[in-house]
Structure 1
Amino acid sequence: MADSNPASARISATLIGAAEVDTAVRSFLRTTPPHRRWDVEHSFDWGAADADRLTEGERSAVEFITLIEDHLPGYFAMYDKFFPVDDTVDLDVFEHNRELYHFSVRWAQEEDTHARVLKEYQIASGIADPASLRHQLAIEGRKRFDVDYDHAVQFFTYPLVQEKATQIYYQRLRNVVSDPLLREILGRLSRDEARHFAFFCDMVEQYLKKYGDAAIEPMREVIADFRMPLADTIRGYWRWALRIADTATYDHTDAYEHLIKVVNRAVDAKSNKFDELVDFVAACRSLSVGARVDVGETVN
């Protein structure tokens, strides 16, 4: 029987095996033992939250990352759309998707906790009141998040870059903020994002081992069109993103080199396709640096 789910049908022929997904998921789930897990209600001294310790740029950064993290329902819905666990897919596809679901539900729970902890910080520190913050998050949260990929590896390449970029930003923001509670929160978020990144690395490596050069071009397409989440939906996104990048000296293309490291580990015999990907990523990073200079000159 052919898959009857139009969203997943075109990528069902490009999956790795369920056993390989299971290996990556088991590795991910072992990375945080119970005694190292945390939650919003019990892991922080909320009475110590103090937004007066933050600059305006740092406050803006907190507001920005709260919006990004809070869009979790949209991100999770994407996996449900393209990797469904129901009778619209063939049995072997279901096996793959069911193993992936073990990751995606844990990932979603952790990302939702990120959204909640940032929301709670805004409220406890005095950045926002609960009612206005809920309203602001609802305005952005109900907007649609979607991607249109043809190869399964792209659904793991995108979050590999995105999770690493987010981790880098949290680390750098943590280094500049003066509120100890916010530093603690950002440290926990950064560690979680590093674990998520490691899972996507494992998945991309498995796809490269199975498909070789056939996976390289789809990955290049992800980089060619890459935008951080909600870049096309948040009003004034690029000006806001530039401001928070200046606050913590950040560029999402810093994450690209980590993708190349993954490819290097997975690919034994480097082909022309591999060399083209490396050159393309280097060119994208150079263009990004040039664009930042141009924008800075315009703003100044």
Structure 2
Amino acid sequence: MTEIDAIPARGRRGQVGGPLLPAAEVDAAVGAFLRTSPPEKRWDTDFSFDWSRADAGRLTEGERSAVQFVTIIEDHLPGYFALYDQNFPVDDSVDRETFIHNRELYHFTVRWAQEEDTHARALARYQLAAGLAEQQELWASLADEGRKHFDLPYAQAVQFFVYPLVQEKATQIYYQHLRQVVGDPLLKEILVRLSRDEARHFSFFADMVGRYLHHHGDAVVEPIREVIAEFRMPLADTIRGYWRWALKIADTARYDHTEAYDHLVKVVNRAVDARSDKVDELVSFVRACGQLGPRL
């Protein structure tokens, strides 16, 4: 057992517990992710869209509500980013080997945060350009939700990659569903950009989870199972009227995070060469949760 593997759960001023990947594995996953977005393919809120084309008059009431909902979800980025800053610190609270691991992961989290923040800005800009909201009103509504604390009650490092694997894939799928029904061509363009980014983010988290399974095997099976057993989409417990709102947007475009579970099963199947009883039970459990349907 390495010094990294021996880190206790929630030890050392916030460093998450459980086994970590070797830094070289993290570096490989981060490098692969960064290469999926060369400079010429990146987009920007201010220059990638003709905002004069935004037209809320082409949207149904349900579509308007969906835009407002996903703007709040995306705008909570500071809370999401803080989780990785707190649980994978890059300071003198961790030993050198752990710092090296966390510093390599940080190369991903800052790019991921920048892209997610761009999503939030684009959706907010669309609301303003389309006449869905006024600036002060929008700032206030986003601040009311953004100030609420967001946390994930996990003690194992792998869980901070399993959760976003499901969340990012579910978000990508929802944006694809929403794109198919919205009436404003500009909003369709925005949703294309967002769904492509979410697909890339999913690929990184899938890569990380696959490497955890390949490197640590059965030791990470139960932590993965725990994530799926209690999975909720972000802010499900903090947005006022979340459940009613989620059902409303699901009437506009399918909103079901369990659509992502099959993708987790594929990650497990690809990562594990020699199947164990624990892995087989995990696959069966994830599939069974998918058949039960969403808890939003």
The TM-score with structure 2 as length reference comes to: 0.95
Out of 169, 178, 194, the residue aligned to residue 173 of structure 1 is 178
1:255 aligns with 2:290: no
Pairing of 1:54-133 with structure 2 (within 5 A): 54-133=59-138
Out of 11, 27, 33, the residue aligned to residue 38 of structure 2 is 33
1:241 aligns with 2:246: yes
User: Which 5+ residue runs of structure 1 have no aligned equivalent?
Assistant: 293-300
Query: Aligned residue for 2:192?
Result: 187
Query: Aligned residue for 2:23?
Result: 18
Query: Aligned residue for 1:7?
Result: 14
User: Which 5+ residue runs of structure 2 have no aligned equivalent?
Assistant: none
The residue identity in structure 2 corresponding to 1:162 is Q
How far apart, in 1, do the equivalents of 2:274 and 2:247 lie?
39
The residue identity in structure 2 corresponding to 1:205 is G
Shift of 1:5: 2.8
How far apart, in 2, do the equivalents of 1:256 and 1:180 lie?
30
Asked if 1 retains the 8 angstrom alpha-carbon contact of 2:268 and 2:283, the reply is no
Segments of 4+ moved more than 6 angstroms: 1-4
Q: Which shifted more, 248-257 or 88-97? A: 248-257
Q: For 2:174, what is the secondary structure of its paired residue?
A: helix
How far apart, in 2, do the equivalents of 1:112 and 1:260 lie?
29
How far apart, in 1, do the equivalents of 2:273 and 2:280 lie?
13
Q: For 1:229, what is the secondary structure of its paired residue?
A: coil
Structure in which a larger fraction of residues adopt helix: 1
The residue identity in structure 1 corresponding to 2:66 is A
How far apart, in 1, do the equivalents of 2:271 and 2:251 lie?
34
How far apart, in 2, do the equivalents of 1:206 and 1:269 lie?
14
Shift of 1:150: 1.8
1:278 aligns with 2:276: no
Asked if 1 retains the 8 angstrom alpha-carbon contact of 2:127 and 2:133, the reply is yes
The residue identity in structure 1 corresponding to 2:249 is I
Asked if 1 retains the 8 angstrom alpha-carbon contact of 2:36 and 2:200, the reply is yes
Asked if 1 retains the 8 angstrom alpha-carbon contact of 2:64 and 2:132, the reply is yes
Shift of 1:239: 1.1
Shift of 1:283: 1.9
Per-residue CA deviations over 1:118-168 (Å, capped at 9, x if unaligned) read: 000000001111100000000000100111212111000000000000000
1:154 aligns with 2:159: yes
Shift of 1:169: 0.3
Shift of 1:249: 1.9
1:144 aligns with 2:161: no
Shift of 1:243: 1.2
Asked if 1 retains the 8 angstrom alpha-carbon contact of 2:13 and 2:93, the reply is no
The residue identity in structure 1 corresponding to 2:235 is L
How far apart, in 2, do the equivalents of 1:5 and 1:278 lie?
33
Q: For 1:44, what is the secondary structure of its paired residue?
A: coil
Query: Aligned residue for 1:49?
Result: 54
Shift of 1:242: 1.2
How far apart, in 2, do the equivalents of 1:44 and 1:270 lie?
48
Per-residue CA deviations over 1:145-201 (Å, capped at 9, x if unaligned) read: 111212111000000000000000001100111100000000000000000000001
Shift of 1:6: 3.1
1:221 aligns with 2:223: no
Per-residue CA deviations over 1:196-241 (Å, capped at 9, x if unaligned) read: 0000011001100111011111000000010000000001101111
Query: Aligned residue for 1:297?
Result: none
Out of 215, 220, 225, the residue aligned to residue 210 of structure 1 is 215
How far apart, in 1, do the equivalents of 2:37 and 2:216 lie?
31
The TM-score with structure 1 as length reference comes to: 0.93
What is the RMSD of the two structures over their aligned residues, measured on CA atoms?
A: 1.5
Percent of pairs with identical residues: 69
